Chain A
Amino acid sequence: GAVVSQHPSRVICKSGTSVKIECRSLDFQATTMFWYRQFPKQSLMLMATSNEGSKATYEQGVEKDKFLINHASLTLSTLTVTSAHPEDSSFYICSAARPSGGSYNEQFFGPGTRLTVL
């Protein structure tokens, strides 16, 4: 159990367009979902934390008007990169947290989405 999917796995778009990435927890209801960005040969950078039905909490330096997060249900969160530019090209990874019986809710990661903006 605890499978998280992302769609699409790879997307290429033109500069100025918007791109939506979906993150789904397939076999559990996620208390919280997270969006990360990973640059080549670097660690994951947390972009935002979202809870179903409420506004996402963005990390410092992340533009909330550029990276729109919608957490429509306990199994679906979407990240929309608005007016994408080449510098937004990156690997975006989502995760979903599931209660694990203790005080800490473990995160389960999606396979990632490679965004290339031309």
Chain B
Amino acid sequence: GNSVTQMEGPVTLSEEAFLTINCTYTATGYPSLFWYVQYPGEGLQLLLKATKADDKGSNKGFEATYRKETTSFHLEKGSVQVSDSAVYFCALGSGYSTLTFGKGTMLLVSP
């Protein structure tokens, strides 16, 4: 079956540091890949997505590239801000509309 593995947190960084959150997946077929962000007490917001191999999703300075050869979709940001503190979920979309989530990675950014 499908599965998503992402690095455990929390990831603690200082403001303006470089961020990488690793995400790998196993899937049959050609899934779509997503990163969602959840701020405290709120629901999930789509951060970025990629629907096919080699696609790069980007939004708000965050980027992730769909790597089929390494089955990865790592999230990166060149310079994090305190306001980026949240939980980040990597997810795989397959079939009609099913999503398989990773366990989430908490990011804490200090001033």
Question: Complex: how many Å from CA A114 to CA B41?
Answer: 8
A44 interfacial contact with B, CB 8 Å: yes
| A82 CB to nearest B CB, Å | 23
Chain A residues touching B, majority SS: strand
Residues of chain B touching chain A, judged by Cβ–Cβ distance below 8 Å, are 31-32, 36, 41-46, 49, 51, 89, 93-97, 99, 101-104, 106
Residues on A with C-beta less than 8 A from B36 are 109
The 6 closest A-B CB pairs, nearest first, are A97-B97, A105-B97, A112-B43, A111-B43, A109-B44, A43-B103
Residues on B with C-beta less than 8 A from A95 are 44, 99
Which chain A residues in 23-57 approach chain B with CB under 8 Å?
A: 31-32, 34, 41-44, 46
The A-B contact count (CB < 8 A) is 59
Residues of chain A touching chain B, judged by Cβ–Cβ distance below 8 Å, are 6, 31-32, 34, 41-44, 46, 93, 95, 97, 102-112, 114
Q: A44-B101, A102-B51 are in contact. Are A109 and B43 (CB under 8 A)?
A: yes
Give 6 new A-B contacts, CB below 8 A, not counting A31-B96, A105-B96, A106-B97: A34-B97, A43-B89, A104-B95, A104-B97, A107-B99, A109-B45
Q: Which of B41, B93, B104 contacts A42 (CB 8 A)?
A: B104
Residues on A with C-beta less than 8 A from B41 are 112, 114
Residues on A with C-beta less than 8 A from B102 are 43
Residues on A with C-beta less than 8 A from B89 are 43-44
| B43 CB to nearest A CB, Å | 4
Residues on B with C-beta less than 8 A from A112 are 41-43
| B20 CB to nearest A CB, Å | 20
| B95 CB to nearest A CB, Å | 8
| A90 CB to nearest B CB, Å | 13
Question: Complex: how many Å from CA A43 to CA B89?
Answer: 8
| Inter-subunit contact B93/A104 (CB<8 Å) | yes
Question: Complex: how many Å from CA A111 to CA B42?
Answer: 5
Question: Complex: how many Å from CA A110 to CA B45?
Answer: 9
